[in-house]
Amino acid sequence: MEFFTNRKDLKSHLSALRSQGKSVGFVPTMGALHEGHGKLLEVAKSQNEVTVLSIFVNPKQFAPNEDLARYPRTLDSDMELARRLGCGVVFCPTVDEMYPQPFLTQVRVDPKMGGVLCGQYRAGHFDGVCTVVLLLLNLVSPNRAYFGLKDFQQFSIIQKIVSDLGHPSEVVGVPTVRGKGGLALSSRNRFLSESEFEKALCIPRALAAAFHLFEKGEKQISLIFEAAQKELMLGGVEPQYFEMRDASNLELLSGQMESKAVLAIAAYVGSTRLIDNVVLAHEEPYVSAALDLVRKATNV
Ligand code: PAF
């Protein structure tokens, strides 16, 4: 496994591999890797000849009121996982290497997609995400880049900017990996106490209840939504947002379901902010992902 901290060395290593005709799969992360990232690496490895992992805690995507210093940093175990999963290249730059001063460029995401859901509460977050993702895509030039569907808004926005700006990489969404009780794996779960963990399980139960009604043919959004909300109330979790949106453009949905929808939630459990979603659609990979959610959430 090759390790780089420098943009120039990474670029020349990758261009040598590309000139040998090798396809490149890219998994951008902020480290603190868990099985969810492991899944991204596994899918990338199965579809490409070389897998590149980046580990960079991107300051541009943290709002001033968010604690960048609290973000977990676990480089040794991250490297171990990368090695175990047969990752070919790890890129782990410093902030100065990524953003040499003066750094004057910033992607601005339209508020229609970037100012809703998490964007309402995390000012500038998606501008920061898209700036670093485009920069990384330009450095790595992968055939395919892999993003977890747990952050569905991030995935949709990245897909849109890559298409709008004509970047040649393909953006691939990988279904959420769920642990005990269906809780979506997240680097933040380590901050949950035992009782907070139990409380958080009403989130997957709520999403599973929504999918259950959808699967039975219910099309009335308010009914699907109420079934899910009931589970949150029973579990004592008050969401920061809980919304049904069009899965292709993130517009708010009401009335009858006519298109592919995403039911997305963010909620604080104790001081830990969790996000999750279920995509209500009759197509893969969404059906298998939702069935996995239902199985785990109702099997507690
Ligand atoms: O999802 C993440 O871990 C980050 O937002 C990403 C895509 C690596 C950009 O910093």
Q: Mind listing the pLDDT tens digit for each residue in 113-167?
A: 999 999 999 999 999 999 999 999 999 999 999 999 999 999 999 999 999 999 9
pTM: 0.96
d(CA 223, CA 235): 19
Q: Mean pLDDT, the chain, as a whole number?
A: 97
The pLDDT value given to residue 300: 54
Average pLDDT over residues 160-184: 98
Residue 55 C-alpha from the chain's centroid:
14
Tell me if 129 CB under 6 Å of ligand 1.
yes
133 Cα: distance to centroid of ligand 1 (angstroms): 8
155 Cα: distance to centroid of ligand 1 (angstroms): 10
> Are 58 and 129 spatial neighbours (Cβ–Cβ below 8 Å)?
yes
Tell me if 137 CB under 6 Å of ligand 1.
no
pLDDT band at 65 (very low <50, low <70, confident <90, very high): confident
Phi, psi (rounded to 5 degrees) for 27:
-120, 100
pLDDT band at 251 (very low <50, low <70, confident <90, very high): very high
> Are 246 and 116 spatial neighbours (Cβ–Cβ below 8 Å)?
no
Q: Position of tokens 């809780």?
A: 183
Sequence-ordered list of residues with C-beta below 8 angstroms from that of 151, at least 6 positions apart, any chain: 118, 275
Average pLDDT over residues 70-86: 94
Q: Position of tokens 């933040």?
A: 188
The verdict on whether 37 is a catalytic residue reads yes
pLDDT band at 66 (very low <50, low <70, confident <90, very high): confident
Average pLDDT over residues 168-197: 96
130 Cα: distance to centroid of ligand 1 (angstroms): 9
